[in-house]
A and B are shown apart, each in its own frame.
Chain A
């Protein structure tokens, strides 16, 4: 067999996308209804014995302060999702849109921007996010995570659109007097209208990882608003003998990222 086809069968592909989007839908429902679904309000401590194993009363057990892990996980999930949505909006706007526009700027300006973004893209996004938070305040963690994820998106979109701009059909269009603004609008449409859901889901997965890691390192959410990363960080001291306090938030986090990735249609990013 000479040709290797690595893509999954189309049926499987669309099925997995469907799974991803339904998962995200369920998560959205759980997040909006978290106040009703959770047995206890956010941060309510002393609800049971400290570090109680999962039982019928506390299905996910309790943590160091006697908080119900199920309720906390739901509340944490809603905090994480809200912040991740904000961050991915920033990442798409700064990275994607700006990248597409920069590719159509006059050559010198575009190249300078591309080079500057290239420098940022060579620094791990996690460090960039940490730095941005350190320079401002923890409050801006979602913005920082979005900005940190932006350079890579910028570089990718820029290079793709720049290739379009250099393409033969774009040259013919210019030769026939089609305005540059029309061509830019067309590139934006084809880059984003048809693929917006995919781009958004992929960005969601990327920023969720950054945000939760940042929180885990203590730079993200501040109590009482605890997100999943912070919950896992807090449970770290006891998780070797009381696994539930860390395992369930981690599971929620993994499911969120997995659903976002499946919804993005198994796209794992192209070559930079």
Chain B
């Protein structure tokens, strides 16, 4: 267990280093230097050194340090991803299990193909249309100034404003969750050990409960990185569609305005989030389904 965790931690660290190198390469573009490869490498090395010392440079738009700007914007995105992730699990888990093991499983694959064929931005717009016309909710789709209504609040209007982006991210995440669940359930179903242990005398329920369920949960955990990716990209689209001022929205604007220090930092944070989810998921999966001595 420890050895596995250490190896995964190594992978995680290596991934972070890779992401840091990528981020410095991007932010080096913004730093003044002579043309040519050698000056670029030199500048990149300097940037990497600064990066290690947590100096991420200044935003070209606001002139503030990139960390300060991100500090203002990141919480909104994290809230969105967190709430979206909760929705994804709440919606995706029963959906995945139902579609994988329920009576409709044969029709499930085509059905899900149709449902998930809509890109996230189309789904978000459709949700907004429905909310506006059926529920008569206030919307921020076309407001002039981007704001970020707090998600975890008791204020009803603010909750209504926040609900749609959360649902958009949540549904995108739910698609990833149910896909991972269906895949791992199908894998677990194909295992020969079911019939092997049943013949030896275990009951079907016992096999499912003691051996198959941990395997399925572990499979879901092992896909945590993938689910995180889906949530993050959905967050980009949701913040743009619903005019929320978060880090993802900031990323789009930074790229558009060529603010490379900001871009690099956000990219690094997002990659770090994905790597962290992947790491935690894998270790959790191992703890759950690999307790036997090796």
Question: Residues of A at under 8 Å CB distance from B?
Answer: 2-9, 12, 16, 115-116, 118-120, 122-127, 130-131, 133-135, 205, 209, 212-213, 216-219, 229, 232, 236-237, 239-240, 243, 246, 250, 253-254, 257-258, 261-262, 266, 268-272
A262 to B222, CA, bound (A): 27
A120, A122, A258, A270: most-surrounded residue (chain B CB, <10 A): A122
- Cross-interface CB contact of A4 among B19, B121, B179, B186, cutoff 8 Å: B186
A106 to B270, CA, bound (A): 32
B-chain residues with CB within 8 Å of residue A119 when the two chains form the complex: 15, 18-19, 22, 271
- Cross-interface CB contact of B278 among A8, A122, A213, cutoff 8 Å: A122
CB pair B229 A122 closer than 8 Å:
yes
- Interface code B176-198, partner A: CB below 8 Å = 1, 0 otherwise? 00010011111101100011001
CB pair B189 A6 closer than 8 Å:
yes
- Cross-interface CB contact of A232 among B19, B122, B133, B223, cutoff 8 Å: B122
Does B58 count as interface, using CB distance less than 8 angstroms?
no
Question: Residues of B at under 8 Å CB distance from A?
Answer: 14-15, 18-19, 22, 26, 29, 100-101, 105-110, 112-114, 117-122, 125-126, 128-129, 132-133, 139, 141-142, 179, 182-187, 189-190, 194-195, 198, 204, 207, 219, 222-223, 225-226, 229, 232-233, 236-237, 240-241, 251-252, 255-256, 258, 263, 267, 270-271, 274-275, 278
CB pair B258 A122 closer than 8 Å:
no
A6 to B178, CA, bound (A): 13
Known A4-B189, A240-B129; 11 more pairs at CB < 8 Å: A5-B105, A119-B22, A123-B271, A125-B233, A130-B255, A134-B258, A209-B119, A216-B121, A246-B125, A271-B184, A272-B225
A136 to B192, CA, bound (A): 52
| Least CB distance, B261 to chain A, in whole angstroms | 13
A115 to B226, CA, bound (A): 17
19 A-B pairs with CB atoms under 8 Å apart are A4-B186, A6-B100, A6-B106, A6-B109, A7-B186, A118-B18, A122-B15, A122-B274, A123-B19, A124-B233, A134-B256, A218-B256, A232-B125, A258-B114, A258-B117, A266-B110, A268-B109, A270-B183, A271-B223
A123 to B114, CA, bound (A): 26
A116 to B129, CA, bound (A): 42
- Cross-interface CB contact of A126 among B106, B128, B194, B236, cutoff 8 Å: B236
A-chain residues with CB within 8 Å of residue B106 when the two chains form the complex: 5-9, 12
- Cross-interface CB contact of B186 among A6, A118, A237, A272, cutoff 8 Å: A6
| Least CB distance, B255 to chain A, in whole angstroms | 4
| Least CB distance, A268 to chain B, in whole angstroms | 6
Given A3-B189, A125-B233, A134-B256 in contact, is the A253-B122 Cβ separation under 8 Å? yes
Q: Which residue of chain B has its CB nearest to the CB of A116? A: B18
| Least CB distance, B135 to chain A, in whole angstroms | 13
- Interface contact tally, CB-CB below 8 A: 171
A51 to B191, CA, bound (A): 58
CB pair A253 B185 closer than 8 Å:
no
B-chain residues with CB within 8 Å of residue A243 when the two chains form the complex: 129
B-chain residues with CB within 8 Å of residue A268 when the two chains form the complex: 109, 112-113, 179, 182-183
| Least CB distance, B235 to chain A, in whole angstroms | 9
Q: Which residue of chain A has its CB nearest to the CB of B186? A: A6
B113, B194, B270: most-surrounded residue (chain A CB, <10 A): B113
CB pair B19 A236 closer than 8 Å:
no
A-chain residues with CB within 8 Å of residue B122 when the two chains form the complex: 232, 250, 253-254
- Cross-interface CB contact of A131 among B133, B186, B263, cutoff 8 Å: B263
A-chain residues with CB within 8 Å of residue B226 when the two chains form the complex: 272
A9 to B240, CA, bound (A): 41
- Cross-interface CB contact of B256 among A127, A209, A212, A219, cutoff 8 Å: A219
A254 to B141, CA, bound (A): 21
Given A240-B139, A268-B109, A271-B183 in contact, is the A123-B18 Cβ separation under 8 Å? no
A2 to B185, CA, bound (A): 12
CB pair B113 A261 closer than 8 Å:
yes
| Least CB distance, B80 to chain A, in whole angstroms | 14
Given A124-B229, A272-B226 in contact, is the A130-B105 Cβ separation under 8 Å? no
A7, A123, A272: most-surrounded residue (chain B CB, <10 A): A123
Q: Which residue of chain A has its CB nearest to the CB of B208? A: A2
| Least CB distance, B119 to chain A, in whole angstroms | 5
Q: Which residue of chain B has its CB nearest to the CB of A9? A: B106
Q: Which residue of chain B has its CB nearest to the CB of A205? A: B117
A-chain residues with CB within 8 Å of residue B258 when the two chains form the complex: 134
Q: Which residue of chain B has its CB nearest to the CB of A260? A: B117
A-chain residues with CB within 8 Å of residue B105 when the two chains form the complex: 4-6
CB pair A130 B101 closer than 8 Å:
no
Q: Which residue of chain A has its CB nearest to the CB of B264? A: A131
CB pair A232 B121 closer than 8 Å:
yes
B-chain residues with CB within 8 Å of residue A135 when the two chains form the complex: 26, 29
A270 to B187, CA, bound (A): 10
CB pair B251 A254 closer than 8 Å:
no
| Least CB distance, B202 to chain A, in whole angstroms | 11
